[in-house]
Chains A and B, each alone.
Chain A
Amino acid sequence: MKIAEALEIFSQTDPGMVRSHNEDSVACEPACGLVVLADGMGGYNAGEVASGIAVSVVVTEVSHRLQNSSPVDRVENSGEELGVSLLRDNIQKANASIFHAAQSQPQYAGMGTTIVSGLFYDDRVAVGHVGDSRMYRLRGEVLETITHDHSLLQEQLDSGMISVEDARLSKNKNLVTRAVGIDADVDSEIHVHDVLVGDIYLLCSDGLNDMVEDDDIQSTLYALQSNLPLAASQLIQMANDNGGRDNISVILIKVKGKFSVPRGWLAKLLNWFEK
């Protein structure tokens, strides 16, 4: 099945109840199975600028490269899959352009953004992220966070210093330990996960998961999986009903069919003729 037919994608973003403007950016490129979400930070409109640059660099560059090559190709030097290296390289590229904009224009000084991106190919998803924007996966009835926040709170959780229950009371929720555009280099975390038909993936900014408990996210995705637009607006509505203190963005991806890359000489030959 072609990637665009195998996935159903829906995204929505909302400023929330308190903030006057929306510093989140989202973009989806169904033709190559790419989704990107970023949560910007910085004064005036710098947050929007940073998240906007991050999303557009990654979407434009990755989809451009994939017009003429396949994400399962191997990169010459490293032997890494192209899908993985494209995410890493372009998060780095986004980092460089935000960093340079911030250096050269005083009103953008210090701006930065989180990013979470997913590239679906060959019955897998490569997930690249920096900061505390998340990707969740609902498989069957089980909701799992498949990214690991780069935040002070997460580090405290990992070290056992604070329990999951206590974490809700923490006053250090808004401190990320990594961000795109803050330094000359960025260390993005990239993992590849197998994808099953029926999986639902959720990318979100912390405006969702700070306001809505994971249990409620799970029950919403599970109950409303047949209607992604409704599921997205329900998630945003719950965040707003609980106070909506930050911008809320969600991207939902439903896997409707398998999308493995055809292998073998015949497939390659046919593919070659198509070009």
Chain B
Amino acid sequence: MAAKLILSMDGGIIKEYPLNKERMTIGRKAHNDIVIDNLAVSGEHAAIVTILNDSFLEDMDSTNGLEVNGKPTKKHFLQNNDVIEIGKYRLKYITDQITQTTPEDFEKTMVLRAPVKHEAAAPGASKAVETQSFMAAPAVSKPAIEIAEKTGKFEAPQTRVVTQPATPAKPAQPAVSASGEAPAGAQKQVAVVQVLTGPNAGKELELVKNLTTLGKPGLQVAVLTRRPHGFFITHVEGENFPLVNGRALTNQAHQLNEHDVIELAGIKMEFYFKG
């Protein structure tokens, strides 16, 4: 189902508009796709350009502007449940398209076939759509039209594959949040390596990055990696392998436990969580 806009005022729903055209305009004048007959609304107030599953909102230099989720906006990439406000009117954007964070959306790659040799054919071919200058910045409008036009002729290619199983082979990593952040356990605490011996004894190094290297390049280097289920140490270079609690590492990554002592290039350091 296509995405839609729900027009309301003072909490009362007025009408629903499916976004079934590449470009839909919002304004006071009667020729708009979504007409809001109110003097606070400009004749042509805004436009929504939809390319496949993505919709973009643009202010068409309206007198009173518009807000999305309470913020004044000129141009916005609409996300599910966004609220567009024009004067007293509210337009809620609803799309049941799965969002990028679900595995199904990583559907197999498809080919978007341009039916015409677009670069060469563009000037003539875009004639019909040239009147719809829907972008605020003129420099931007032309390539955008070409895209919109191309997508208009989008043919679902045979390569579209329905073989994706209803449920993925393995559940998609419940430990990982959508943003790729460390899980709750590791998030609250900061992992730290404290130097125990040598000239830098007492110095603390907070492991805030996904990857932290320790040691001297060319001599001995190890890397500490942050993963969803904890921190790991791996040997990178050098003849000698680092020791953890007195035992040399193998070629494999080794998970660190609290208060493990790492020995690298003659320096001892302790791994622990702070806070």
Contact = CB atoms under 8 A, between A and B. Distances in A.
Contacts of B100: 168-171, 173
A189 interface: no
A176 B113 CA distance: 8
A31 to B, nearest CB: 26
Contact of A159 (B79, B144, B221): B144
B211 A216 contact: yes
Interface stretch (A35-43, A72-80, A139-147, A193-201): A35-43
B106 A169 contact: no
A60 interface: no
B159 A42 contact: yes
B274 interface: no
Contacts of A44: 163
A57 interface: no
A1 interface: no
A155 B122 CA distance: 15
Interface of B: 49, 51-54, 56, 77, 79, 97-100, 103, 105-114, 135, 137, 139-140, 143-144, 147, 151, 157-159, 161-163, 168-170, 172-173, 176, 180, 209-213, 217, 221, 223, 225, 227-228, 234, 236-237
A169 B169 contact: no
The main secondary structure of chain A at its interface with chain B is loop
Interface in A219-246: 219-220, 223-224, 226-227, 230, 234, 237-238, 241-246
25 contacts: A17-B173, A41-B108, A41-B159, A47-B108, A155-B143, A155-B147, A159-B144, A160-B139, A161-B49, A163-B77, A171-B97, A174-B107, A175-B110, A176-B110, A177-B112, A182-B159, A223-B213, A223-B236, A226-B221, A226-B237, A234-B225, A234-B234, A237-B227, A242-B180, A243-B103
B229 to A, nearest CB: 9
A44 B53 CA distance: 26
Nearest to A165: B77
B228 A223 contact: no
A179 interface: yes
Q: Give the top 7 A-B pairs by smallest Cβ distance, nearest first.
A: A110-B158, A159-B143, A245-B106, A171-B53, A226-B237, A166-B77, A18-B168
Contacts of A48: none
A245 B110 contact: no
A224 B236 contact: yes
Interface SS of B by simple majority = loop
Nearest to A160: B140
A227 B173 CA distance: 28
Contacts of B237: 226-227
In this complex, the interface size class of chain A, counting residues with CB under 8 Å from chain B, is: 35 or more
Interface in A14-31: 17-20
Contacts of B143: 155, 158-159
Contacts of B77: 162-163, 166, 169-170
Contacts of B180: 213, 241-242
A159 B118 CA distance: 14
Given A169-B100, A174-B110, A179-B111, 9 more contacts: A166-B77, A171-B100, A174-B108, A223-B213, A230-B234, A241-B228, A243-B173, A245-B106, A245-B172
A110 B106 contact: no
A178 to B, nearest CB: 8
A159 B140 contact: yes
Interface string A56-70: 000000000000000
B144 A161 contact: yes
